[in-house]
Amino acid sequence: MSACGRVSGQLKQSLLACLAPPNVRTKARFMNVHRLFSWADRLLKLSPAGGAKTGSMLARLRACMDELPACKELIQRFRGDAQALLACQQILKTQGLSHDTLAQCQPLIGEMPSTLVRREFEAYLARQLTTAKTVGLDQIGLPMSSDAIESLFGVAKRHGVGQTQDAARIALRLPALCGAPTREEAEQVVGVSVARQREMTATYTSLTKQRREVLGQGKTLESLGQSQGEPHVELLPSSKNRSNHCTIINLSIDYEHQYGPHLAPQQSPGVIENVGPPEMTQAAAT
């Protein structure tokens, strides 16, 4: 890192400024340091073995390289490990960890030049696959990242929520974004009348509904303190407090033979049941 910083200072404000290293984002995960190693490897390839004519561009480049040539072995080994790990990460993030995805990662893991990193990564995947077997997801794929869930909530916030980011309305729309609905489910939704929708949503507290009533219909502020029905948004305990919670949430493995997300038909379409402990308070997320 120090050598790259010194090289960057010599390349900038010169004829070789286009070869300056990329910026390292200190707030990003791992600071994107693999991009810096990729840049260093490509820069060293611009300086082949042999002499350079005095005053030539190659001679100027070599004068700016500082200690990068001495780090060539480290650069190549780190870049090889990072490329394999990033490729495996992409597979596991999109498809989850299962026997099939583990088989896809094995050739990439075998190409990693560092024996210690390769063994640690294989041991990590073996431990996680044991967890996948425990919850019955070793054939379907154990989610290895929350990016898909975060993206789902992000899409739900943009569709039909309005200026007020209402957690209750977002929760009602999430089932429509989970997997491909079947024809039976679509017919079930089409058969729900507007009156039935209003009857169903009127029992739940909604920021949008409260805003419309207080600002539009002139209701008093005291109406905001009235509880309306059973909330369908629960605040799940965080990981550091979950082990001490009196209620233990058990994962079901009845879906181990299913492939992909499936929506169970309900008598009241579009309503997500409570998934948290009953004593937790309602959360309105923005």
3-state secondary structure string, 211-236?
HHHHHHCCCCHHHHHCCCCCCCCCCC
C-alpha angle with apex 109: 107 to 111, nearest 5 degrees? 75
- Structure tokens given for 234: 């629960």
- The domain ranges of the chain are 2-67, 75-134, 169-286
Residue identified by tokens 């780190």 is: 78
Structure confidence at residue 23 (pLDDT): 80
Structure confidence at residue 277 (pLDDT): 47
Structure confidence at residue 272 (pLDDT): 44
pLDDT tens digits, 74-121: 998 998 999 999 999 889 888 888 889 999 999 999 999 999 999 999
User: In the chain, which stretches have pLDDT less than 70?
Assistant: 26-31, 159-165, 203-204, 206, 208, 220, 222-286
- Structure tokens given for 110: 């075998």
Structure confidence at residue 255 (pLDDT): 43
Query: Is this model's pTM higher than 0.85 or not?
Result: no
Structure confidence at residue 234 (pLDDT): 59
Contacts by 66-72 with C-beta closer than 8 Å and gap 24+? 66/3, 66/6, 66/7, 66/10, 67/3, 67/6, 68/3, 68/4, 68/7, 68/40, 68/43, 68/44, 69/44, 71/3, 71/40, 72/44
What is the distance in angstroms between the CA of the first residue and the CA of the last residue of the chain?
38
